């Protein structure tokens, strides 16, 4: 149980385009979802926390107009990288938790974004 999927697993796009990444909890209702960014050979950095039906809370230094997060249902959150540039190239990982398990997060397999 507690499986989280991400789609796509890998995406390559041109500079200036927007890219949407989906995060789904497959077998549970995720009251809270988290988006992380991981640069090569570095640790995960939390970008934002989102709760179903409300606005996401962004970490300091993360541009909310650049990284649009929508958590429209208890099983789906999306991250849209708007007007992507090469410096946005990274590994994006989502995770999900539910109200009874605040401390534990279940991670998706990640999405590798390459902006040319």
Partner 1 sequence: AQSVTQLDSHVSVSEGTPVLLRCNYSSSYSPSLFWYVQHPNKGLQLLLKYTSAATLVKGINGFEAEFKKSETSFHLTKPSAHMSDAAEYFCVVSDRGRSGYSTLTFGKGTMLLVSP
Binding residues for partner 1 (CB under 8 A): 4, 6, 32, 34, 42-46, 49, 51, 57-60, 91, 93, 95, 97, 102-110, 112
Least distance in angstroms from the C-beta of 19 to partner 1: 18
Least distance in angstroms from the C-beta of 43 to partner 1: 4
Least distance in angstroms from the C-beta of 107 to partner 1: 4
- Tokens 């990274």 belong to residue: 90
Tokens of 30: 């995720």
């Amino acid at each position: 149980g507690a499986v989280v999927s991400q789609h796509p697993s890998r995406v390559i796009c041109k500079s200036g385009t927007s890219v949407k990444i989906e995060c789904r909890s497959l077998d549970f209702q995720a009251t809270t979802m988290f988006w992380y960014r991981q640069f090569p050979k570095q640790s995960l950095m939390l970008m934002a926390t989102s709760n179903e039906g409300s606005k996401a809370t962004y970490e300091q230094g993360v541009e909310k107009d650049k990284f649009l997060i929508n958590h429209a249902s208890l099983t789906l959150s999306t991250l849209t990288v708007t007007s992507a540039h090469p410096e946005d190239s990274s590994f994006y990982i989502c995770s999900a938790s539910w109200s009874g398990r605040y401390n534990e997060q279940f991670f998706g397999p990640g999405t590798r974004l390459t902006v040319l």
